[in-house]
Amino acid sequence: MNHLYLDCQYGISGDMTLSALINLGADLDYVKDHLRELPIDPFTMETNPVNKHGIHATELILQFPEEKHQHPIHPDTHYHDHSHEHHDHRHASSIFRMIDESMLPQRVKTRSTKIFKIIAEAEAKIHGMNPEDVHFHEVGAMDSIVDIIGVCLALESLAIETISAAPVPTGYGKIQIAHGLYPVPAPATAEILAGIPLADFQAEGELTTPTGAAFLKALVDDFGHLPALPIKKISYGAGKKDFDHPNILRAVIFQTKEDLDTTRERINVLECQLDDMEGETLGYVMEKALGMGALDIYYTPVTMKKSRPGTLITLLVKPEHSLMFEDLLLRETSTFGVRRVECERSILSRRMDQVETVYGLVKVKIGFKGKHVYKVTPEFEDAKEMALKNNIPLRKVYSEVNLSAMQLIKEESLL
């Protein structure tokens, strides 16, 4: 498994991302062959080495030979391209249908559809319309269709499983888009970047485009510094513009935790204790924290001042999410303060699978380190449904699942 880190400290766009992934080793022919099976305009795609302030990078050269008018600036900047208006796939709904009916790999379909939906929803909110009715030039011109699906194909070519990224800058100033002269970040970009950490890097011009922002929103699991993992390969994708800084996106492939003998990660532990909250509110806070992505939350009975019975709330979160969960505890509970402790935990790598039993298929979670499997746990809801359906004890389902799971593991030579 490969982990990709997008070091977007100078911004990110569609062509920068695709060129960085190709420079990283993605098969260009694989990307082009799949794209040419789609009902889009004929195109040529090449890469060109460039130097950006002393950094050797790869630039994407994407052209549509049948275009009557060439783009002076990449359409990811939201310039309206009228040369494709004769096509019937100019609305978001048509793009979704094109992807769904294609022969693209399933994960490419899932990722690219998610990206387009994020852009369409942002444009729809800005213009007060239904996301599926968003017009093509607002979702992106033909170049952006190629960029978005091309990036997802490149990720598939590189077998990228997980992605993290650096906080991203937007730039400042004004930009000419289809609807007139707008401030940077463009309205769609700003809408998409809601909830994403921004970098305090100031440069005049559009550093992050709507497509680049949508990549971050749709594909990235974590934002922060370079992960504490061994680097496999580094590459640089170049943008079309020239700034006082290198207009590049650095992409890094890391050896994943699943490949290491020891699996460790940094987490923060948030705690507070209270003696004046009803049980229903505690249940509400737990449900909300888990829904927001907390790693874990649990309550411990404690004895407080004057021998009053109380509850210790313990919340495990990723370091970059600490402030968000501190605010949750301060806002939703009666506490006047939250303690935070940084620590490290050792965890098993895990993957989901399903096994065949005499009662049918059951999902299981497999915990392993390297090639050694430590445990196999059935998914409770599947096991419960099977027990009720067959009128058998739950423990019997667990026993059957464990036997089948161990056989599956042996067949895969994980033990």
Which one of 202, 233, 259 terminates a domain? 259
Q: Looking at the structure, do residues 287 and 404 belong to the same domain, yes or no? A: no
Same domain, 200 and 157: yes
Q: Do 359 and 314 sit in the same domain of this protein?
A: no
Return per-residue pLDDT of the chain as tens, 415 residues. 689 999 999 999 999 999 999 999 999 999 999 999 999 889 999 999 999 999 999 999 998 886 544 443 333 433 333 333 334 446 788 899 999 999 999 899 999 999 999 999 998 888 788 777 776 554 447 888 999 999 999 999 998 989 999 999 999 998 876 667 888 888 889 999 999 999 989 898 899 999 999 999 999 988 998 988 889 999 999 998 889 999 999 999 997 655 554 467 789 999 999 999 998 999 999 999 998 889 999 999 999 988 999 999 999 998 888 899 999 999 999 999 999 998 888 887 777 777 788 888 888 887 877 667 777 888 888 888 888 988 999 988 888 887 877 776 666 544 4
Structural domain of residue 294, as residue ranges? Answer: 264-346
**What is the CATH classification number for the domain harbouring 338?**
3.30.70.1380
The number of folded domains in the chain is 3
* pTM metric for this prediction: 0.61
Domain boundary among 243, 259, 275: 259
List the structure tokens of 375: 């445990």
Do 367 and 240 share a domain, yes or no? no
Do 241 and 285 fall into the same domain?
no
Do 222 and 83 sit in the same domain of this protein? yes
Q: Which of 319, 346, 373 is at the close of a domain?
A: 346
| 248 and 188 both lie in a single domain | yes
Residue in the block written with tokens 């020239």: 242
